[in-house]
């Protein structure tokens, strides 16, 4: 912190920053004042459903759905040798921080025995649950504190072990003594300027010996980690270096799963059992995508949000959702009749639905109006939904067929995509080829569309340098005078294609060099892909011959049973040849194959 005459120094531009650097480089430094404060930091309460999902997302990078699936297995039971199936944690769908007295007593005993009496607080920590907590189940904790993560390592899978360790440590730490910290604030005089530095040193770790709660903006919840040297007031200091840095004001970060669950919990939206499904639905419906573990709204998500908020303002409201949750809680406790709650909601919602049926815009037919003008006819541009997603289209369609791709900036404002970059000429009509975006990404299209519908993949248009990387074969196309080159399909399957594409669209699969083993079939086995992208080897005479092999065939007969071919298989990272006949069992090292 920079201060001059008791006021904070504000640096508005580079000139001011440079002048300040000069002053600091010429100034003499002296410790003006040293403030030391003692602080205590209490442990976090034991896990409830929401905090478990948040912490697993922060520390383990698990989704809420994965966290709950693993917790379910730990709750239902794990085989522990001679003990049989044992449930390792308590019920994982809870919003209560309450703990059983027996569990607290066992935890304090374990802490005293393994860490020492100093780590056991005199009074048992009591944690308050949020208002409206149902309190049907206690907090999430290990069923026995004596089953340490080290002991359970032999019985649990890796993902189960790390989650169990998180639950175990959080529970034990919640029953430990607070941490004791020394906070130091140092005021340093630099001529007319006053500089300040602060740092924190751990005097007694307490619960931090076992566990430190995570934070959404980093891996550790202990933000104060700077250790300052022990300096006395009046001591002179020597400047080492002044390093100016420019910092820009950053917008609030996008939600992670952890921060979104916390927001839902704080606003009273949803229940512990619904957080995981909410995270799943907004991604499955493609309302959001994840970039660097943070949710980013898609164009579809923003469009759906705009339409729903405009047509259902009373329902699409945080206060409404929280109030409905509160009313349902009152129904559960018997303080409110369920029939009246449902009737009040239905009347309001029914009116909104009837209004939306007549007023809500049909995005496919009409489009969502924007403030952008069409440069061709002057009418407003609308957001429409097509087979390749959202795009901007003139409201005068079909009279005006102007359309554009668009994106949104960090504030959600529409940014029209620039006109396509010219890359080469069309080999059919000699007009320019420009970059366009389609369902499968960027591609080249002729500017003469719709008269000329020539398109070309981007990977095929990178000039002479690209042509050098194309793998030519000695086979000649039987439909023109071109040669076949090796290309790959979207599923990664190699095939032969004529070099004169798109004038000649002749293609041919690449054979595995093995004849089809079916009787009276003169076909050859080639690599193919199923609808789900799984690779297999089938006959070129399909659909007359439906023979398939899920392993790559090799043109080598089996010496044991006489089968016409062997297949390549893999075990523990090494390949070997095996006979595909289940009753044979012949194997040999792949390196011995010719």
From the list 29, 91, 501, 586, the catalytic residue is: 91
Band of pLDDT at residue 464, cut at 50, 70 and 90: very low
**pLDDT confidence of residue 92:** 93
Q: What would the two tokens of residue 72 be?
A: 């379910």
- Which residue would you say has higher pLDDT here, 573 or 444? 444
State the Cα–Cα distance between residues 313 and 307, nearest whole angstrom: 10
Six token digits for residue 470? 């194309």
Q: How confident is the model at residue 2 (pLDDT cuts 50, 70, 90)?
A: low
pLDDT of residue 223: 44
Would you kindly state where each structural domain of the chain is located, as residue ranges?
2-42+180-237, 257-348, 368-409, 422-508, 511-592
> Which of 295, 260, 61, 40 is closest to 166 using CA atoms?
61
Structure tokens at 367: 């489009």
Average pLDDT score over the chain = 82
pLDDT for res 439: 53
Kindly give, in sequence order, each residue whose CB lies less than 8 Å from that of residue 556, ignoring residues fewer than 6 positions away.
565, 566, 577, 593, 594
What is the pLDDT, as a whole number, of residue 463? 41
Question: Across 205-254, where does the E strand assignment appear?
Answer: 236-237
**Most confident stretch, 128-142, 178-192, 505-519, 521-535:** 178-192
**Nearest CA to 567 among 553, 587, 586, 546?**
553
* pLDDT tens digits, 218-256: 444 444 456 677 778 888 888 888 877 776 666 778 898
Question: What is the predicted pLDDT for the residue at 249?
Answer: 66
CATH topology classification for 257-348: Topoisomerase I; domain 2 (1.10.460)
Are 483 and 476 spatial neighbours (Cβ–Cβ below 8 Å)?
A: yes
Q: What is the pLDDT, as a whole number, of residue 216?
A: 60
Contact status, residue 70 vs residue 159, Cβ threshold 8 Å:
yes
CATH class as words, domain 2-42+180-237: mainly beta
91 catalytic per annotation: yes
Question: What is residue 424's predicted lDDT score, i.e. its pLDDT?
Answer: 81
What is the length of the chain?
Answer: 594
């Amino acid at each position: 912190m920079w201060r001059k005459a008791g006021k904070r120094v504000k640096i508005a531009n580079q000139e001011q920053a440079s002048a300040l650097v000069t002053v600091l480089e010429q100034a003499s430094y002296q410790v003006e004042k040293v403030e030391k404060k003692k602080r205590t930091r209490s442990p976090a309460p034991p896990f409830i459903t929401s905090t478990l999902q948040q912490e697993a997302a922060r520390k383990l990078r698990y989704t809420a759905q994965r966290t709950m699936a693993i917790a379910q297995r730990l709750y239902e039971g794990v085989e522990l040798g001679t003990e049989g199936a044992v449930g390792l944690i308590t019920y994982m769908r809870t919003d209560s921080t309450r703990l059983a007295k027996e569990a607290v007593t066992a935890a304090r005993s374990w802490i005293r025995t393994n860490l020492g009496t100093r780590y056991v607080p005199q009074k048992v920590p009591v944690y308050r649950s949020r208002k409206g907590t149902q309190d049907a189940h206690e907090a999430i904790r290990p069923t026995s504190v004596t089953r340490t993560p080290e002991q359970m390592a032999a019985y649990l899978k890796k993902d189960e072990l790390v989650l169990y360790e998180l639950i175990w440590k959080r529970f034990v730490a919640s029953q430990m003594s607070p941490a004791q910290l020394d906070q130091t604030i140092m005021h340093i005089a630099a001529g007319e300027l006053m500089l300040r530095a602060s740092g924190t040193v751990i005097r007694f770790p307490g619960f931090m010996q076992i566990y430190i709660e995570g934070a959404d903006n980093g891996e550790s919840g202990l933000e104060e980690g700077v250790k300052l040297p022990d300096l006395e007031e009046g001591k002179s200091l020597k400047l080492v270096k002044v390093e100016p840095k420019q910092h820009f004001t950053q917008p609030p970060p996008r939600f992670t799963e952890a921060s979104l669950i916390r927001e839902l919990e704080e606003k009273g939206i949803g229940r512990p059992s619904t957080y995981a499904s909410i995270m799943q639905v907004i991604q499955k419906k493609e309302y959001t995508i994840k970039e660097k573990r943070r949710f980013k709204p898609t164009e579809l998500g923003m469009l759906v949000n705009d339409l729903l908020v405009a047509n259902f303002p009373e329902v699409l409201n945080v206060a409404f959702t929280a109030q409905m949750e509160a009313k349902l809680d009152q129904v559960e406790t018997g303080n409110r009749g369920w029939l009246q709650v449902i009737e009040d909601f239905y009347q309001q919602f029914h009116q909104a639905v009837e209004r939306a049926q007549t007023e809500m815009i049909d995005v496919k037919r009409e489009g969502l109006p924007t403030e952008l003008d069409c440069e061709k006819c002057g009418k407003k541009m609308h957001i429409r939904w097509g087979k390749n997603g959202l795009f901007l289209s003139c409201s005068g369609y079909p009279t005006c067929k102007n359309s554009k791709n668009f994106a949104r900036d960090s504030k959600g404002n529409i940014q029209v995509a620039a006109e396509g970059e010219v890359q080469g000429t069309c080999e059919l009509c000699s007009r320019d080829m420009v970059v366009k975006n389609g369902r499968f990404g960027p591609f080249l299209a002729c500017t003469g569309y719709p008269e000329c519908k020539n398109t070309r993949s981007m990977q095929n248009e990178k000039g002479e340098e690209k042509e050098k990387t194309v793998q030519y074969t000695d086979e000649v196309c039987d439909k023109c005078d071109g040669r076949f080159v090796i290309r790959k399909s979207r599923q990664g399957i190699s095939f032969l294609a004529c070099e004169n594409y798109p004038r000649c669209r002749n293609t041919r699969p690449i054979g595995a060099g093995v004849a089809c083993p079916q009787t009276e079939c003169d076909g050859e086995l080639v690599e193919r892909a199923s609808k789900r992208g799984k690779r297999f080897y089938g006959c070129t005479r399909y659909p007359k011959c439906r023979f398939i092999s899920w392993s790559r065939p090799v043109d080598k007969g089996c010496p044991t049973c006489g089968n016409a071919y062997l297949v390549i298989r893999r075990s523990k990272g090494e390949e070997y040849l095996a006979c595909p006949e289940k009753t044979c069992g012949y194997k040999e090292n792949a390196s011995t194959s010719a």
